[in-house]
Structure 1
């Protein structure tokens, strides 16, 4: 395990966030996205994540090595207290405690922003990610069968959640 610092992301971090996200897309274990994103896309994404929808980064020696974001779950007001979650870690630092530090920090931010629950969608073959979520108290809710496509293969998507307010 390594020591990292977590903090709110700024505009200066967008390029590093983009690089780490594109690693996740290329590695085909964390997202169903297939095309790498570009800087204009990521800048717009960053602008859309203001106020309640925080983005945090993890740094080691001043270098961004991971990020997490709270994302809108639904446009319906009944789900105002529910946030979707994204967590991405630079491939060199996966399995070294970065994801755990980001999850702890983003959960605290979610509570601060009046979210009662976090949901996430993960791929069934992302054992490392699911291990992290299980360790941090997320529970498997179910599986969307044949929800996405990778290459020519239909892929299931695992749904997990954590209730933050007891």
Structure 2
């Protein structure tokens, strides 16, 4: 069951539209620089080795650090495969409500030099979404491109915490 479930979760991760594939994380030039970055991989390794309980514990611990799309989707798939479709559906719904497409849209708009549109997207988001570290980063970037120096400075006076796709942070950015 572990190998089948692992493949199911990996397929799910790789299939996230617009998200970075899990494959660069597993096969990058420096795949395991420290333990924080190794933990997400260990969760998949545990699953492949049949340690479903260990993988669940690791993903639950990850949720304790920060709720992320990746962890919710992994646990949702695990719930589904383990015969808990209602729990799995709740987690998948929570992941969907995190609006994974927002980051991709902001990335595209800012890269295309359409900063005012990126700022309009940020302004349209609920407050909870706007506080997300990556959203704050793209708001700062778009504000700079749009010439809104006051807005960019206001953002940089805050502490911005950006987690990796698995919810782990390496530190805080503050100007």
TM-score calculated relative to the size of structure 2: 0.31
Greater share of strand: 1
